[in-house]
Amino acid sequence: MTCRIAFVIFPSFQQLDLAGPMAVFELARLARPGSYDWRIVASVPPMVRSSAGVAWPVTGLPRRLDGLHLVMVIGGDGVDAACRDARLVAWLQRAARSGARIASICSGSLLLAAAGLLDDRTATTHWSRGRQFEADYPAVRLQPDRIYVREPAVRRRQWPELWTSAGMTAGIDLCLALLAHDHGEELARQAARQLVVERRRPGGQSQFSPLLDLQRPDGRFVTLLDAVRADLRQPHGVEDLAARACMSPRHFARCFRAETGATPAQAVERLRVEAARAALEGGASSVLRVAQDCGFGGTERMRRAFVRLLGRPPAAFRPAA
């Protein structure tokens, strides 16, 4: 059976969010004719301009939904305005009730949340939208470090199957996983080879930007985090960090999490992982030396941190011989 897809876009959408997933399904269709078919839809046809200024032809939101199997909402800078598009939000709610699978790429998950489709469910989004997402949609169980998340359908509650992805290229990971789910691992591997990407970056793998949203340039903990980064061999326990910030440990921990979105221990671990990854990618000869210099103490502790945050062990980041 052909899977019929509606790619949903809006003004100032991100082209890569659309082109990457479309390429996955195009390759699948070339290898297995009839496997997928799609159209690009929007609430205001016939043309929608991307954030890059290129106008894309679209059709209107389809009134009949019984022949639609997958609705994929594309992300981009225009998502905030799209969340206020009552017609589009209502259509997404109808699509979810129709039984179609619902998916989002990058910040497109904000539009699904605005439609109430993610309430009481697990989802992810682009790392830069994490704080906004948590503040605006507290009913969603956001997992901002995930590359993609699949939530199975819950028929008794009329909840559709949901797929959400993180940054732009994570949309390709999501679509390869969808392809494997629909047509098997071999077809997904073929598509990945054609795209020259990894077939299986695990959905639970961290978005490879563990530090980018850790601090604001004007935040109160910028100097403290810089000091930690400069001397990762030290323990950097919460009591020590609180003393350096001239705060009680409890108040410090609360304020630190509110500002950075991470506990002090999580932040220190992220700094250590980032420094260790940079050292390994730079050709460091000794994994043990890297583990010691970055404050892990030993290689096993560093390995567990890498797998937890980056989804791969330290050896995966060493340059090929």
- Domains of the chain, each with CATH number or no CATH: 3-195 (3.40.50.880), 222-317 (1.10.10.60)
Q: What is the pLDDT of residues 288-313, one digit of tens each?
A: 999 999 999 999 999 999 888 877 78
Cis, bond preceding 46 (omega within 30 deg of 0): yes
Q: Give ∠ CA 180-107-135 in degrees, rounded to 5.
A: 125
Length of the chain: 321
- Is the confidence at residue 247, as pLDDT, over 70? yes
Q: What is the pLDDT of residues 90-128, one digit of tens each?
A: 999 999 999 999 999 999 999 999 999 999 999 999 988
Phi, psi of 89 (to 5 degrees): -60, -45
Phi, psi of 103 (to 5 degrees): -140, 160
Q: Is 70 helix (H, G, I), strand (E, B) or coil?
A: strand
Report pLDDT for 201: 58
